[in-house]
Chain A
Amino acid sequence: MSNLLNVSPSPHVHGKESTQKLMLNVVIALIPAFITSVFYFGIGAIIVTATSVASCLIFEYLIQRFVFRKPLSITDGSALVTGILLAFNLPSNIPVFIVIIGSFISIAVAKMTFGGLGNNPFNPALVGRVFMLISFPVQMTTWPVPKGFGTGYTDAVTGATPLAIVKEGLKNGEPLSKLMEMIPTPSQMFLGDMGGSMGEVAAIALLIGFIYLLYKKVITWHIPVAVVASMAVFTGILWFVNPEKNADPMFHILAGGVLLGAIFMATDYVTSPMVPKSMLIYGCGIGIITVIIRVYGAYPEGVSFAILIMNAFVPLMNAYIKPKRFGEEVKNG
């Protein structure tokens, strides 16, 4: 032993948790969704994910190395998660150069301009995705039909997503009952057999990831449950009032990116609130805004926009919504 002892204030033990481990657990939770996307969309899913992950990591590295000139923290896993989530929000046949542009927006603009990990107000993957949606509307809404593992990258057959079918159909005045015959059954949707972004289709895979994240205590239940519950209530009311014009809650929850958004995007640590009460409000806000966009807005899908809008309220909620402190307004009986 050296004669010098370390002297530091308590606590002298530290939990085994680290940023890297948390990010790794998110990646593990995303594996089932990745497997299903490869299963349905084939080689394209692998190409898009690999491109997105590689370019996110490279952009983060370059900016840390040449702009920040600080010790590298590329191994913390946050850029890896952003890369995977960005890919999961894209169609599997999207050209590689668009993916690279999207990654650049996600990392360089949405994350690093604010100072890197922990400082960005908006979810980087979603900023990237929305940028791509607005800049490349055709490529971003050309959805390959799930044809199985053998599907090539560019030769995929394309078709509309269930949400788009319903949105277009209702706009053209077709009755909902007829439209519902054109879309996959709820059980097909639950298993992911429908058109859409590669990571969002299989509810079952996303729920497995959710259970894993809860088990590992990476996230709490508050945000995902609030998103899904508020959507179910809102769409349930609309459906009850006019079932010919409004799809049922089950359809709204299984179609599109609700589960991917609620479980993996809305729960992004950096851009979600700190206090359980705020988490519930934030989740409900996302659910309600999503339904408003889907039912009354121009886009068939609104999860990305809803999350970004609610991201903007997070600093406000953190500043004004406080947990009930221990020993405050005491009721003793």
Chain B
Amino acid sequence: MLKTFPTGGVHPPENKLTAAIPIEYLPVPPSVVIPLSQHIGAPAVPVVSKGDYIRTGQVIGTGKGFVSANIHSSVSGKVNKIDFVSDSGGFKQNAVYIDAEGDEWLDTIDRSKEIKREISLSGEDIIKKCLESGIVGLGGATFPSHVKLSVPTGKKCEVLIINGVECEPYLTSDHRLMLEKGEEVLVGVTILMKALNVSRAMIGIENNKPDAIGHMSELASSFSGISVHPLKVKYPQGAEKQLIKALTGREVPSGKLPLDVGAVVHNVGTAFAVYEAVQKNKPLFERVVTVTGTFVSKPGNYIVRTGTPLSLLIEAAGGIPENTGKIINGGPMMGKAVSNTDVPVVKGMSGVILVPFGESVRKETEPCIRCAKCVEACPLNLEPYLLMTLSERSLFERAENERITDCMECGSCSYTCPASRPLLDYIRLGKSTVIRMARERNLK
């Protein structure tokens, strides 16, 4: 029996159309718009001004405070302006506009193809390097990695968990990365182990990627302490708490962090970025993005510079199909629909899905028949039907007692609901209200 997390979860059609398509480099765009907040935490502060000539990999924004991240230029050229841009979520935020001229990298970046396995930096220096290089979690949450690597005194990390699950349908960027850059990823994992001072790392990969499991297991045999674990295909296995449960059997208590059960989770994409930062001195300014969709003529996996307009990336994949009704940034279960294709590619963008019109419209909501399928599907054992009703009727205190804030918004409830009820929409509303209420209560 393959391991998985014990309760809840759904299995949407996988649709991994691009699993066999090798990663391709997208040409350097003529101009980029690099948002200064591509991570969770405080936005970076710009350190360049209009007219400055900057090189690829140069810092253009420095992190403000501990929970923040540096931002680097992804092209060389002149700063056109520093102005607002609508990010993929529709929010306005500060960004650096750069017109590209050539592609002149900083001299400090090692651009050779050779794989460097010896790690010369100490644990502390590794964390510092991650901070300098603007490394954030590339699984989608974009939490600054140096924060996750700095284990507070009194806590101990016993095992590093590497997320190669890629449980979202359609996305294959992590899958391709493991196949093509497997060794680099493993060196990255070793670096992370050194930073965390652990001797054991577990890589979880879902069983729908047998080639990646085989490849990574074979490579891992020459690395000490790293093991590869095939997992049963089930969404949302890539969620931190579910992955820890599946691999170690430990359950992260509600409201606590993985470190409270001695685990730290990083994504394979992050491990690769850490490798590049530590071994090659290359900051994070490009990443693998899957561009896909049933009607996309040239779906693929592309290495894209941050700040590239989405439209250029989609053009490389053959343009927007005629019947497109929705464009998703991320996976279909947790991704965000974008309102236009001018938004820039950012560090957290793992995929772009072009959804045909028919599938882009929701079915009409019907009355709840109390079938309990949402309760069955919830990986956190909440009662989505009840949380929705409580939020709908503004009974937020009761929703709090029913632990609405535990919800991680995986969408399994809405996915499974036969009456097509907007469960998660209402739960989000209730959750944010409850969080706000709790904050106000704490201020008193």
Contacts and interface: CB of A to CB of B under 8 A. Distances in A.
Interface in B363-391: 363, 366-373, 375-376, 379-383, 385-386
Interface string B303-331: 00000000000000000111111111000
A326 B416 CA distance: 19
B369 A274 contact: no
B361 A14 contact: no
Interface stretch (A114-122, A145-153, A187-195): A114-122
Contacts of A78: 369
Contacts, number: 169
B332 interface: yes
Interface stretch (A2-10, A177-185, A197-205, A284-292): A2-10
Interface stretch (B67-75, B142-150, B417-425, B433-441): B417-425
B254 interface: yes
B338 A325 contact: no
B444 interface: no
A12 B328 contact: yes
Given A119-B367, A270-B369, A327 B428 contact: no
Contacts of A325: 254, 380-382, 403, 406
Contacts of B53: none
Given A12-B332, A326-B7, A6 B418 contact: no
Contacts of A318: 386
Contacts of A22: 369, 371, 418
A19 B366 CA distance: 8
A332 B320 contact: no
Contact of A269 (B256, B321, B372, B417): B372
B418 A19 contact: yes
B195 to A, nearest CB: 24
A10 B370 contact: no
B241 interface: yes
Contacts of A118: 367-370, 419
A106 B333 CA distance: 40
B418 A326 contact: no
B375 A8 contact: no
B415 A13 contact: yes
Given A1-B324, A5-B325, A13 B375 contact: no
Interface stretch (B42-50, B128-136, B245-253): B245-253
B418 A7 contact: no
> Which secondary structure characterizes the binding site on chain A?
loop
Contact of B372 (A7, A10, A274): A274
A1 B296 CA distance: 13
A172 interface: no
A327 B332 contact: no
B188 interface: no
A9 B415 CA distance: 12
Contacts of A323: 375, 381-383
A14 B411 CA distance: 10
B360 interface: yes
Contact of A15 (B361, B381, B415): B415
A7 B326 contact: yes
Contacts of A13: 12-13, 169, 332-333, 359, 415
Nearest to A115: B367
Interface string A104-132: 00000000000011110000000000000
Contact of A9 (B256, B322, B424): B424
Contact of A12 (B90, B333, B375, B428): B333
A52 B424 CA distance: 39
A327 B256 contact: yes
Interface string A17-30: 11101100000000
A9 B416 contact: no
A64 interface: no
A331 B322 CA distance: 54
Contacts of A19: 366, 369, 418-419
Residue among A7, A273, A324 with the highest chain B CB neighbour number at 10 A:
A7
Contacts of A173: none
Interface string A59-80: 0000000000000010010100
A328 interface: yes
A117 B367 contact: yes
Contact of B361 (A6, A275, A322): A6
A41 B26 CA distance: 73
Contacts of B379: 326
Nearest to A328: B254
Residue among A272, A273, A326 with the highest chain B CB neighbour number at 10 A:
A326
Nearest to B322: A1
A298 interface: no
B383 A9 contact: no
B335 interface: yes
A14 B422 CA distance: 11
Given A325-B254, A326-B254, A14 B367 contact: no
A-B pairs, 5 with minimum CB distance = A11-B411, A327-B254, A118-B367, A326-B380, A17-B418
Interface of A: 1, 5-15, 17-19, 21-22, 73, 76, 78, 116-119, 220, 269-270, 272-275, 318, 322-328, 330-332
20 contacts: A1-B321, A1-B322, A8-B326, A10-B335, A12-B328, A12-B359, A13-B12, A13-B359, A14-B414, A15-B418, A118-B367, A118-B419, A269-B370, A274-B375, A275-B372, A275-B383, A318-B386, A325-B382, A326-B406, A327-B253
Given A6-B325, A12-B326, A330-B253, 9 more contacts: A5-B360, A7-B339, A8-B362, A11-B424, A12-B360, A17-B418, A78-B369, A270-B370, A332-B250
Interface of B: 7, 10, 12-13, 90, 169, 241, 245, 250-256, 261, 320-328, 332-340, 353, 355, 357, 359-363, 366-373, 375-376, 379-383, 385-386, 402-403, 406, 409, 411, 414-420, 424-425, 428
